[in-house]
Amino acid sequence: MSRRSLLTIADLDRAEIARILRVGNRFAEVMERDIKKVPTLRGRTIINMFFEASTRTSTSFELAGKRLSADVVNVKGSGSSVEKGETLKDTVITLSSYLPDVIVIRHQSVGACQMAARYTDAAVINAGDGKHEHPTQTLLDLYTIEREVGPLDGLHVAFVGDVAHSRVARSGVRGFQTMGARVSLIGPPTLLPRDAEAALGVTTSTDVRDIADADVVYVLRMQLERMGPGGFVPSLREYAMTYGINHARLRPGQRVMHAGPINRGVEISGELADDPATLIERQAANGMVVRMAVLYDLLAGPAGSTEPAGAPIGAVAV
């Protein structure tokens, strides 16, 4: 990685993404062992700052750090100094005084990680800032597709649903394109960002039938909590009828992804969500190894150089 921080997926070029995915493969092998821990980051300190509710991302970051033997500290927005009125800037400065190597930040506002990076010497990893970006989600999605479907080059990925409020889509579009995929956005006109074609270099459609051409259908969560009053769709019932993805809408061979958590029966049918042919469970499982790879790349892998060889990782496992 040429930069010390991972603020957006655009910080990574194709070669850097490919390297991280390869490192992820090495760590996946480690996870198949009885003892799933390596000493790679022993003595390093990682602070996870989650100002917004999260289960899978915060857990996978915590486990990723611990399985690399780093010291991991978790700070939540609630019950912390933030609740007493401290600003994000002051929190970052205070925590930086403990000399962490990495600060992982999830925040409800766009620009939080960019701002934080101005006030710390630690590497900052964006674990989701508002509707902006979620780069490690994209890396784990890329990893999952490469393992389960095949090389990204030439694939067509269609994001379906609430694009407007989705940081998963914003990082995903960029990341998938970097790896050679074609991306389209499909959803109700109220949930497609203005000028998306120009902004993101994609095709857009309001007709769900246009998923027919896609190799991967990436279903987006309806983010009701971000929509506020006014209603972006007339009703969830109608949305489910018009844009909900189910077996009937898919053709054989299409793979389905979803970053979770799922609104069952809204954007995806329960039956499809439970179908082992979808990649949803694989995505969750792959999150941890990909985050291990990102932490390794930031802290132990000098830019553009070494990857952990299989033997040394195994040989020094504790």
CA gap 250, 240 in Å, rounded: 15
CB of 116 to other proteins, least distance (A): 9
Query: Segment contacting other proteins (CB under 8 A): 13-21, 32-40, 188-196, 231-239?
Result: 188-196
**Strand positions, DSSP E, 71-119:** 71-76, 102-107
Q: Could you check whether the bond before residue 229 is cis, i.e. omega within 30 degrees of 0?
A: no
Q: Using the rule CB under 8 A, which residue among 74, 81, 109, 242 binds other proteins?
A: 109
Measuring CA to CA, which residue among 101, 143, 110 is closest to residue 128? 110
Q: Using the rule CB under 8 A, which residue among 20, 47, 112, 222 binds other proteins?
A: 112
CA gap 85, 195 in Å, rounded: 37
Q: Using the rule CB under 8 A, which residue among 44, 167, 255, 258 binds other proteins?
A: 167
Using only the alpha carbons of the chain, give its radius of gyration.
Answer: 19
Q: Does 237 bind other proteins (CB under 8 A)?
A: no
Residues 125-144 as x/- pattern, contact with other proteins by CB under 8 A: ----xxxxx-----------
Residues 6+ away with beta carbon under 8 Å from 52: 77, 106, 107, 108, 128
CA gap 255, 249 in Å, rounded: 12
CB of 107 to other proteins, least distance (A): 6
Contact in structure between 230 and 190 (CB atoms under 8 Å)? no
Residue keyed to tokens 């990495």: 102
Query: What are phi and psi for residue 40, nearest 5 degrees?
Result: -50, -45
Q: Which is nearer to other proteins, 6 or 280 (CB)?
A: 6
Residues 69-108 as x/- pattern, contact with other proteins by CB under 8 A: ------------------xxx-----------------x-
Helix axes 14-31, 135-148, angle to 10 degrees: 70
Q: Does 181 bind other proteins (CB under 8 A)?
A: no
Q: Which is nearer to other proteins, 111 or 312 (CB)?
A: 111
Q: Does 194 bind other proteins (CB under 8 A)?
A: yes
Q: Does 110 bind other proteins (CB under 8 A)?
A: yes
Q: Does 114 bind other proteins (CB under 8 A)?
A: yes
Measuring CA to CA, which residue among 106, 123, 85 is closest to residue 297? 123
CB of 66 to other proteins, least distance (A): 29
Q: Which is nearer to other proteins, 69 or 126 (CB)?
A: 126
Q: Which is nearer to other proteins, 40 or 91 (CB)?
A: 91
Write the single-letter amino acid at 3: R
Residues that bind other proteins (CB under 8 A): 87-89, 107, 109-112, 114-115, 129-133, 167, 170, 193-196, 198-200, 228
